[in-house]
C-alpha cells in the first residue's frame, strides 16, 4: 500500500495491487503533512499534521483516528517518525516550536526544542522554548535517527541532536524559505559527507549536513520546487515542481585520475560512465 494526503482534508490509503482506495480518513482542516514510520513493527500509526494544533494519529489496524497529541498552539506543518525508535515522533508548527513525542506516554511530549539551548530561558518554563523565529514548516531525520534537521520561515536551517535535544549550532547561512505550507526537503543516506537537499525557488540547494557548506544549486525545474525525496538504494534524488515535472538526479561520477600523463591525450568520454557498455564481445577478443 501507499498513502497520500491533500488539501481536500483527507488522508487516503491505497492498495498498490489494485490502485484502488482501501481507506479514507477525514479531517476538519487542511492536511499539511503525514508520515508512516519506516521501522515500526508494533504499531500501524500514520501521523498527520493539519490546520488544527492537535497532531492526529490514524491507526490503520482499527481504521480510527482517536489518538491525539496536544501541545502546539497553531497549525502543524510537518511530522516525522524517528527512523531509530518506533514510538518517537517529531512535529513542527507555525507556533515556532518543534516537539518530540513518545506516543506511548499519556502526557505525550518528551521535549520542546530550544534554539538557545536553555541559555535565555533558564528562569522560565519549557513553554517559552522556540526552535525558530518564525513558522517551522520542515523537518527531517538523518537516516540513523541521531540528528534532526528543521527549517523555518526565519530563513534558517538547524541541526539538532535528537537524543539530547541540543542545537548543534551548525551555520548554514541564509536558507531561503518562502513556503506558506510544509516544505518537503530530503537528506542523503550512505554518502560521505551526508547532504541536505532543500527546495529553493526553482532550484534545489545542496548543503553538507554537518559542516553547513552550500555545495551547489541544482537547476532543471522551470517553476518552484515543492518537494524532494532521496532514494538510498540507487543514490538518486527525485524532485517535484509546479512546472508539472518530476526530475531524477544522479550523482556525477568523478573522472578517473590517469596513471600516466600520456593518458591525457586520449579522447574524452562524454557519456556518463554509469551508462557505458563495459562488456566486450568475443569478436573483439579474437
Q: Kindly state whether residues 96 and 201 are assigned to the same domain.
A: no
> What average pLDDT does the segment 34-39 reach?
94
pLDDT exceeds 70 at position 268: no
pLDDT exceeds 50 at position 123: no
CA pair distance 100, 146, nearest whole angstrom: 13
pLDDT confidence of 254, banded at 50, 70, 90? Answer: confident
Q: Kindly state whether residues 199 and 166 are assigned to the same domain.
A: no
Looking at every residue in the chain, the average pLDDT score rounds to 88
CA pair distance 184, 175, nearest whole angstrom: 14
pLDDT at 213: 96
Is 273 within a domain?
Answer: no
Q: Kindly state whether residues 36 and 112 are assigned to the same domain.
A: yes
Is 209 within a domain?
Answer: yes
Q: Which domain holds residue 200?
A: 186-253
Q: Kindly state whether residues 79 and 49 are assigned to the same domain.
A: yes
Q: Kindly state whether residues 98 and 222 are assigned to the same domain.
A: no
Reported as a single tens digit per residue, the pLDDT across 183-207 is: 999 999 998 899 999 999 999 999 9
CATH of the domain at 164: 2.130.10.10
Q: Kindly state whether residues 226 and 200 are assigned to the same domain.
A: yes
Q: Kindly state whether residues 233 and 137 are assigned to the same domain.
A: no
Q: Kindly state whether residues 27 and 124 are assigned to the same domain.
A: yes
Q: Kindly state whether residues 167 and 211 are assigned to the same domain.
A: no
Reported as a single tens digit per residue, the pLDDT across 210-226 is: 999 999 999 999 999 99
92 or 256: which carries more pLDDT confidence?
92
Is 222 within a domain?
Answer: yes
Q: Kindly state whether residues 77 and 99 are assigned to the same domain.
A: yes
Domain count, the chain: 2
Q: Kindly state whether residues 46 and 140 are assigned to the same domain.
A: yes
pLDDT at 122: 53
Is 260 within a domain?
Answer: no
Reported as a single tens digit per residue, the pLDDT across 153-185 is: 999 999 999 999 999 999 999 999 878 788 999
pLDDT at 271: 53
Is 121 within a domain?
Answer: yes
pLDDT at 180: 77
- Is residue 34 a contact partner of residue 46, using CB atoms and an 8 Å limit? yes
Amino acid at each position: 500500500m501507499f498513502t497520500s494526503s491533500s488539501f481536500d482534508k483527507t488522508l487516503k490509503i491505497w492498495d498498490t495491487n489494485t490502485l484502488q482506495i482501501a481507506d479514507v480518513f477525514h479531517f476538519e482542516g487542511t492536511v499539511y503533512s503525514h508520515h508512516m514510520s519506516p521501522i515500526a513493527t508494533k504499531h500501524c500509526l500514520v501521523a498527520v499534521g493539519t490546520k488544527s494544533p492537535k497532531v492526529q494519529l490514524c491507526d490503520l489496524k482499527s481504521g480510527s483516528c482517536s489518538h491525539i497529541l496536544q501541545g502546539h498552539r497553531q497549525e502543524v506543518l510537518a511530522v516525522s517518525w524517528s527512523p531509530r525508535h518506533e514510538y518517537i515522533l517529531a512535529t513542527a508548527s507555525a507556533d515556532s516550536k518543534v516537539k518530540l513525542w513518545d506516543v506511548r506516554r499519556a502526557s505525550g511530549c518528551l521535549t520542546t526544542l530550544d534554539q538557545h539551548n536553555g541559555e535565555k530561558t533558564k528562569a522560565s518554563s519549557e513553554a517559552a522554548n522556540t526552535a525558530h523565529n518564525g513558522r517551522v514548516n520542515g523537518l527531517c531525520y538523518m537516516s540513523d535517527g541521531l540528528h534532526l534537521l528543521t527549517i523555518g520561515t526565519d530563513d534558517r536551517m538547524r541541526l539538532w541532536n535528537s537524543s539530547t535535544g541540543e542545537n548543534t549550532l551548525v551555520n548554514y547561512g541564509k536558507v531561503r524559505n518562502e513556503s506558506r505550507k510544509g516544505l518537503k526537503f530530503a537528506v542523503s543516506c550512505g554518502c560521505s559527507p551526508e547532504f541536505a537537499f532543500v527546495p529553493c525557488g526553482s532550484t534545489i540547494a545542496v548543503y553538507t549536513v554537518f559542516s553547513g557548506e552550500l555545495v551547489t544549486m541544482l537547476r532543471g525545474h522551470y517553476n518552484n520546487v515543492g518537494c524532494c525525496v532521496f532514494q538510498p538504494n540507487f543514490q538518486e534524488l527525485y524532485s517535484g515542481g509546479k512546472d508539472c515535472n518530476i526530475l531524477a538526479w544522479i550523482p556525477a561520477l568523478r573522472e578517473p585520475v590517469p596513471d600516466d600523463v600520456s593518458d591525457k591525450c586520449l579522447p574524452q568520454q562524454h557519456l556518463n560512465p554509469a551508462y557505458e557498455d563495459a562488456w566486450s564481445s568475443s569478436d573483439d577478443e579474437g
